Structure 1
Amino acid sequence: MAHRFVRATPIRDRLPELRTRLDAGDVEAMRPFGPALTAALDDARYDPATDEAVWVEEDYCSPPLAQERTVLDDYFTDLRIVESDVDPETGWDRIADLPGLWAALAADA
């Protein structure tokens, strides 16, 4: 297992649907990646300097995030792995000062 440090540009008009799917447990029910993806997206941050969502994703795929992209590609563009094997605590610490993705986007609405 590896943890990926991920950045992606949110498709803002699609994110309410993603939030609904996360809250309803639809993403979490996807196996095997759903629980990890749900946790990562729930805690995702927003980088106002780049207009990107940022998170650390637990990943078992080769190539990285292959399964998760079945969800992510519907809600984000320019998805990129900034660091392919990051210590999860260190990764989250690097973005701890950024606002939460969901709160930041709700404030923009």
Structure 2
Amino acid sequence: MAYRFVRAQPKRDRLTSLRERLDSGEIEQIEPFGRAMTTALQQARFDPASGEAVWVEEDYCSPPLAMERAEVLDDYFTDITIVDEDVDEATGWERINHLPGLWNQVLDEV
């Protein structure tokens, strides 16, 4: 499995819509990546130093996250950066586990 360590600038005015789509299961139904994306985004963290969302996502696209960006991510984030193209999933989450959850941080501010 390939896991990507991702950083992106959230479009704060759009995140309520993304959260609703995640909660309704709409994104989870997108094949082939919906389940992995839903899990990753639900667990996403917020880096207060940069204002970025950070997460680890299972991905097999070339270029990385191509389908995910076209279908979902580009609607809700800018400056999407793949920090590491092949990171161990557990190690990636450990790198950001100390950060506040994206949804607790950002939705409270919207």
| TM-score bracket relative to the smaller structure | over 0.9
Q: Which residue of 2 aligns with 1:22?
A: 22
Q: Which residue of 1 aligns with 2:96?
A: 95
Structure (1/2) with the larger helix percentage: 2
Q: Which residue of 2 aligns with 1:37?
A: 37
Q: Which residue of 2 aligns with 1:74?
A: 75
**5+ long unaligned stretches in structure 2:** none
Distance 1:64 1:90 in 2: 19
Partner deviation per Cα, 1:73-105 (whole Å, 9 max, x = no partner) = 000000000000000000000000000000001
CA RMSD, Structure 1 to Structure 2 (Å) = 0.7
The percentage of aligned residue pairs carrying the same residue is: 65
Distance 1:60 1:31 in 2: 13
Residue correspondences, number: 109
**5+ long unaligned stretches in structure 1:** none
Q: Which residue of 2 aligns with 1:8?
A: 8
What secondary structure does 1:97 align onto?
Answer: coil
After TM superposition, the score normalised by the length of structure 2 is: 0.97
How far the C-alpha of 1:36 sits from its partner, in A, is: 0.2
Q: Which residue of 2 aligns with 1:107?
A: 108
How far the C-alpha of 1:63 sits from its partner, in A, is: 1.1
**4+ residue runs over 4 A deviation:** none
Distance 2:66 2:12 in 1: 22
Distance 1:57 1:44 in 2: 10
After TM superposition, the score normalised by the length of structure 1 is: 0.97
